[in-house]
Copies of this chain bind each other. A is one copy, B any other.
Amino acid sequence: MRNEVIRNKQGLTEKEFLKGYDADIYKKPSLTVDMLIFTVMDEEEENYRKLPEKTLKILLVKRGDHPYLGKWALPGGFVAVEESLDEAAFRVLRAETNIDDIYMEQLYTWGDVDRDPRTRVISSSYMALVDNSSLKVKAGNDEEDARWFEVQYNLLEEKKAAAERGYIYEQLVEIKLRNESDELSARIKITENPDGSVCREIIESEGIAFDHGKFIQYAIDRLRNKIEYTNLAFNLMPELFTLTELQQVYEVILGRELLAAAFRRKIASMVIETNQFTKDAGHRPSKLFKYNSAWRRDI
């Protein structure tokens, strides 16, 4: 519908205008994507009767160059001019994992002026959820050291303070990331203003590069929120699973215990029972379920 013969104030047609357009007269920020790749893994359990505990893991990459040399960062990369933002995210994801059909979602775009000491860099964060059983992280690709870290989310402090037109709510959250060899942490202050808008600020960061601690806190917030009303959790599950395993995944993301009876009622319509069972469990076997792909939240 755009009419090519319309002329602007300089008397140019659109064709002429576009030909003369110079995108580089102003200095531009650089743009990156950073991936938050989550999975859930079983921890070793020595007692043959007990079920293994599940933990939430995130994939981090050890920085091999300045800045933050030796610190751990989210896998990421610069966005090229010939690829879309989503394509850039997929490219980064493929560089780290061997799977193609991975759940991916854009989270937030971080634009503080000083967030990267090299130059002005704005970063769009994406979250990916992968099923650990079908996953193989590409080890040592382009000399990178990629490792899974156990994620812990601790609410350290909650504050409510009177302000001009209402109350300001502040949370101090600690993110702990653990490995066999490393323990990283970040403290993030989350401020909720009277109008409902939210700000995040890094108070302290140990071993985590850039402002990536904020990214992780934000992602967990989103995970916790979306798991309640979407099928998101099933992206972390294998083809067949027990309801207890599914409940454990919910619990490890939400950071609290759930009651089995209520949980089973709630997710009943999202799963289909098979006639297979777990074996050699040291206790009563458990029925295996699969995702009910026809499920959809009612609106």
- Which A residues are closer than 8 A to B by beta carbons? 1-2, 6, 8-9, 12-14, 17-18, 21, 23, 26-31, 64-71, 78-86, 88, 101, 103-106, 108-113, 117-120, 122, 124, 160, 165-167, 169, 194-197, 205-206, 230-232, 235, 291, 293-294, 296
- The dominant DSSP class at the A interface is loop
| Complex Cα spacing A134 to B194, Å | 18
- Known A-B contacts: A21-B118, A29-B31, A109-B124. Give 11 more (CB < 8 A): A6-B70, A8-B69, A12-B66, A17-B65, A23-B30, A27-B81, A85-B112, A103-B197, A111-B124, A195-B231, A196-B232
| Complex Cα spacing A235 to B197, Å | 11
Among A86, A111, A232, max chain B CB count under 10 A is at A111
Contacts of A21 in B (CB 8 A): 118-119
Nearest first, the 5 A-B pairs at minimum CB distance are A85-B111, A166-B293, A23-B119, A17-B66, A103-B195
Contacts of A160 in B (CB 8 A): 296
Contacts of A111 in B (CB 8 A): 79, 84-86, 88, 124
| Complex Cα spacing A112 to B106, Å | 13
A109 near B112: Cβ-Cβ < 8 Å: no
| A124-B111, A293-B166 given; A65·B23 CB < 8 A | no
Contacts of A17 in B (CB 8 A): 65-67
Question: Out of B30, B83, B105, B167, which one reaches A197, CB within 8 Å?
Answer: B105
A211 to chain B, nearest CB (A): 12
A84 near B109: Cβ-Cβ < 8 Å: no
A106 near B109: Cβ-Cβ < 8 Å: yes
Give 21 A-B contacts (CB < 8 Å), ordered by A residue.
Answer: A1-B206, A6-B66, A6-B69, A8-B65, A14-B66, A18-B66, A18-B118, A21-B119, A26-B80, A28-B28, A28-B29, A28-B30, A79-B111, A79-B122, A82-B113, A85-B111, A103-B196, A165-B293, A166-B291, A166-B293, A166-B294
Contacts of A84 in B (CB 8 A): 111-113
A3 to chain B, nearest CB (A): 9
**Nearest B-chain residue to A192, judged by Cβ:** B296
| Complex Cα spacing A101 to B194, Å | 11
Contacts of A165 in B (CB 8 A): 101, 293
**Nearest B-chain residue to A155, judged by Cβ:** B299
